[in-house]
Amino acid sequence: MTELDVRTAPPAEELDESRESLKEGDRWNKLLDRLNDLSITKHFDAYVDVPWDDPAFALDPTDPRWELDPEMDPLGATQWYLDLPQQDRARLGCELVASKMKIGLVFENILKRGLLEFAMTLPNRSPEFRYAYHEVIEEAQHSLMFQEFVNRTGYDAPGLRKLDMVTTRRIVALGRRFPQLFFLFVLGGEDPIDYVQRRELRSNREKHPLLERIMRIHVTEEARHLSFARHYLKRTVPTLSLWHRARLAIGAPVILGSMAKLMLEPSKDLVERYQIPTEVIDEAYTNNPEYHRETVASLGKVRKLCVELGLVRWPFTIIWRRLGLDPKTA
């Protein structure tokens, strides 16, 4: 089993190279070399590095450790949730994790297909090609982990709705046609979950060992994926036309807002399955200022990147404010 020596993986920005010591092209190639090396020396296998059959890792959906932590999910602080029988509280918490993993699996399916489209645009001897395939392999292992977890809960988590699935083909095509917008979508899906999982791993609350192991593997490898996406955008967005940068500036808050909601809130299926009242959803999420602040915080790194790239400027700042994603108004 590959060792995870640290409490959490280093944030993606810690994989960066010194700006003063290297020229732009050298920094990029140096970063790719490091990411490729880490994909060889610090990678994981879904069925080797997760001890699925260890009795200590057995998944019982009624285990109290699945109950929602109100500091991590505001639904756990509502009186409606607290009034549920203990086994129902645990099962809902477990199935909420499974639902998010299934959505994450669908997202990673889109990501892998888009990366393959992106890789096919690269010329021979392109250093990005090798990294793109490393990431595809790692994301496939994540998908195996997520699906195995879902299977063991007994909950038939549906993932995305059919209408949402139809639109995924357009996102996949961006990997070939407009990779900058594709990698912005990648950050929109990965950053909120990375933020939440790091918070969870830093907390002192007792965690189920199976979930903890999966999260540690995920944040370790996602640090590389996030680093590549950020640096690719830093390298290529300044070369785009004004029209393409305007498309990015419009798309950024829309993509980030919708992806954060998808990743952080209960799915429609779970709301219906547990008959969670609308007023409880409003209390926990829609009308909860603290939840909105945490949502904005989960997008903090990618929003900062958008500022650096000149994508957060008037009149596009109006979209950020309207969607509640401006930290000044959150």
Buried b vs exposed e over 231-268: b needs ≥16 C-beta within 10 Å? bbbbeebeeeeeeebebbbebbbebbbebbebbbbbbe
Tens of pLDDT, residue by residue over 280-306, are: 999 999 999 999 999 999 999 999 999
Q: Which domains are assigned to the chain?
A: 24-322 (1.10.620.20)
Q: Convert the pLDDT of each residue in 77-129 to its tens digit.
A: 999 999 999 999 999 999 999 999 999 999 999 999 999 999 999 999 998 99
Residue of 119, 63, 112 lying closest to 91 (CA atoms): 63
Grade residue 326 by pLDDT with cuts at 50, 70 and 90: confident
Question: Stretch 24-48: mean pLDDT, rounded?
Answer: 92
Phi first, then psi: give them for residue 220, nearest 5 degrees.
Answer: -65, -45
Q: What does the alpha-carbon distance between residue 91 and residue 107 come to, in Å, rounded to a whole number?
A: 24
Please list the helix, strand and coil fractions of the chain in percent, rounded to the nearest 5, in that order.
Answer: 70, 0, 30
Render 143-161 in DSSP notation, one character per residue: HHHHHHHHHHHT-----S-
**Distance separating alpha carbons of residues 11 and 310, to the nearest angstrom:** 23
- Among the ranges given (7-16, 132-141, 221-230, 251-260), the one the predictor scored with the smallest mean pLDDT: 7-16
Q: Is the pLDDT of residue 149 over 70?
A: yes
